[in-house]
Homo-oligomer: A and B are copies of this chain.
Amino acid sequence: MNVDALLEDFRQGRVTAEEIKRQLTGHSYADAGFARLDHHRLLRKGQPEVVFCQGKTPEHVAHIFHELAQANGRVLGTRAEACHFEAVEDMPGARYDPVSRVLSVVREPVEPVGKVIVVSAGTADLPVAEEAARVAEHLGSRVVRHFDCGVAGIHRFLSVLDDFLDARAVVAVAGMDGALPSVVGGAVAAPVIAVPTSVGYGASFGGLAALLTMLNSCAPGVTVVNIDNGFGAGYMAHVINAQCVAAGKG
């Protein structure tokens, strides 16, 4: 947003005082009654708002999906249940994955770019790992999955290590001891986003153990998101990946 140009337009009478106030203070959103849809986000963040479906009624989700699809041609929803899918099933390009609970509408698929790797420790971490993968894919990244590579059998990770050489971003998902991202972070050059999961029992305290492990990782180049936040990791991985691709094109 070019403020100087906008002010000049205003002085010339090409835009109204109301418009200029709205633009300058940036209050561009749609009041849906039950929610304020942040249409301004695409400008600020480069991505439209993503819908956190958990706790929302199917009607509300459908309303939001239609509005966002109209504005952007594509919508991403996370933590969706089957009932949410049923409410938008008839929208063109609607898809739902019950494992990762990702719900999406894509009118026109785009070619995936760059390379994001999602690596996970155990089979129980799959829903979170898959959420990360599908979010990055929806946003436009090419994603490679390496699942069930936990450190109790470290050779499983080492055997695929070569594939990490050209990755732009890595998402490393683990529950229980959460040790995988430290090993990954010690072995690869790409930025690693660690995702603790709530997989475990007893002293895993719902993922707290894995979270603390990752925050204390001795390996440089590792950052962390919330427990079970596959979405956040996939989003961040895509942002880093896409930025590189864009720079390469510039």
Q: Enumerate chain A interface residues (CB-CB to B < 8 A).
A: 3-4, 7, 10-11, 17, 20-22, 24-29, 34-36, 38, 40-41, 44-47, 50, 52, 54-56, 60, 121-124, 126, 147-156, 158-160, 168, 176-179, 182-183, 185-191, 193, 196, 198-229, 231-233, 235-236, 239-240, 243-245, 247-248, 250
Contacts and interface: CB of A to CB of B under 8 A. Distances in A.
Given A198-B202, A236-B191, A248-B250, A219 B28 contact: no
Given A158-B26, A193-B223, A214 B177 contact: yes
Given A24-B24, A189-B44, A201-B228, A216 B223 contact: no
A84 to B, nearest CB: 14
A154 B151 CA distance: 11
Contacts of A229: 201-202
Given A25-B155, A153-B29, A248-B247, A36 B179 contact: no
Contacts of A40: 153, 155
